Amino acid sequence: MSEPLALPLAHDDAPFLRVHQLSVWYGRQVGCDSVCLDLSPGEVLAIVGESGSGKSTLLRCIAGLQRPTSGNVWFHHEGVELDLHALPEPARVRLVRSHLSFVAQNPRDGLRMRISAGGNLGEPLLANGARHYGQVRSAAMRWMERVELDPLRIDEPPMHYSGGMQQRLQIARSLVNQPRLVCMDEPTGGLDVSVQAKLLDLLRRLVDDLQLSVILVTHDLGVARLLAERMIVMQQGRVIEAGLTDQVLDDPRHPYTQLLASSILS
């Protein structure tokens, strides 16, 4: 990439994640096709598209949860470029466990519903070697406050929580290890509109305060506009448009993007 100018700026940070020509085929069915993207520290990238466009498949490959048919996910780690899917499994698991996290659309997929909120929040810490009960517990309480959950409910299992609370708990769980990249798959899907607004606001502030790098899969363009500075639009496994979120939404060029943008209710 030839940059005509050097900006003395935060976002000028070199990308730490590069997805190169990533393809997933389910037999003859395309999951995603030759996708390229990159992400710098502190950036929020939205992936939008209708169901079946391959956005979740792409996200799962980036998060290390699924193996691509071909292509690479390069992760800049301690001065070295690592190809996530070429790493031996133990190394990949270690990398994923300590630097990536995943927020599922359904909190049931990302939480242990019968284990206390504290246990859910503590698990990533315990998996990374924390061995002090008191410290794990106080960290869990801090994170509950951070996502506006009552720390007094730390010993309740998430099955006693409302849907919005469960999702906030899952988001907190994805952040306790201070990952370099958070992958979110429709984090506000399936929630009431008012709950959704609250969650969006929370996410927006977390992203700002913690300088999170986030890849956000959503079919809700309003969510993308609110949270993401950049977006890519996918259709049938391919990236058909990419760029600044507001430019893609306000000046869409691809017919499909125009259709999407004109379908926003506002």
Partner 1 sequence: MNPAHPPASAASHSSDGPIRDGSVVGSNTAGGNTAGGYAVGGYNFAYLNEQTKRMIRRALLKAVAIPGYQTPFASREMPMPFGWGTGGIQVTASVIGPADVLKVIDQGSDDTTNAVSIRNFFVKVAGVATTESTAAATLIQTRHRIPETPLRAGQIMVYQVPIPEPLRWLAPRETESRRLHAMGDYGVMYVKLYEDITRHGRIATTYDYPVMVAGRYLAAPSPVPKFDNPKMHQSPALQLFGAGREKRIYAIPPYTDVRSLDFDDYPFHVQQWSHSCALCGSANSYLDEIILDNEGRRMFVCSDTDFCLRNRHPVAVDQ
Partner 2 sequence: MNVNTQSNIPMASAPLAADPHRSSLPAIAVRQLRKDFTLHGQGGARLPGLNGIDLDVFPGECVVLTGPSGSGKSTLLRILYGNYSVGTGSADITAGALRLRLHEATPRQVLAARRFCIGYASQFLRVIPRVPAIEVVTEPARRAGVPRQQAQERAESLLRRLSIPERLWLVPPATFSGGEQQRVNLARVFCFPYPILLLDEPTASLDAANSEEVLSLIAEARAAGAAILAVFHDHDLAGRVASRFVTLQHAVSLQHAVTLQHVVSLQADRPKGPSSDAP
CB of 222 to partner 2, least distance (A): 10
Residue 164, interface with partner 1 (CB under 8 A)?
no
The H or E element spanning position 214 is: strand 214-218
Residue 115, interface with partner 1 (CB under 8 A)?
yes
Residue 11, interface with partner 1 (CB under 8 A)?
no
Closer to partner 2 by Cβ: residue 144 or 261: 261
- For residue 3, count other CB atoms closer than 10 A to its CB: 7
Residue 128, interface with partner 1 (CB under 8 A)?
yes
How far, in Å, are 48, 102, 119, 211, 219 from residue 147 at the CA level? 25, 16, 16, 16, 24
Sole binder of partner 1 in the list 132, 142, 204, 205 (CB under 8 A): 132
Cα 107–chain centre separation: 14
How far, in Å, are 18, 89, 90 from residue 72 at the CA level? 8, 15, 18
- For residue 58, count other CB atoms closer than 10 A to its CB: 31
Residue 169, interface with partner 1 (CB under 8 A)?
no
Sole binder of partner 2 in the list 50, 81, 150, 251 (CB under 8 A): 251
Q: Is 182 exposed, middle or buried (0-12, 13-18, 19+ CB in 10 A)?
A: buried
Per CB under 8 A, the segment of 10-18, 52-60, 134-142, 143-151 that binds partner 1 is: 134-142
For residues 262 and 256, the answer to whether their CB atoms sit within 8 Å is no
The contact set with partner 1 (CB under 8 A) reads 89-90, 93-94, 97, 112, 115-116, 118-119, 122-124, 126-128, 131-134, 136-137, 155
The contact set with partner 2 (CB under 8 A) reads 1, 3-5, 7-12, 40, 43, 197-198, 200-201, 204, 226, 229-230, 243-244, 246-247, 250-251, 253-255, 258-259, 262
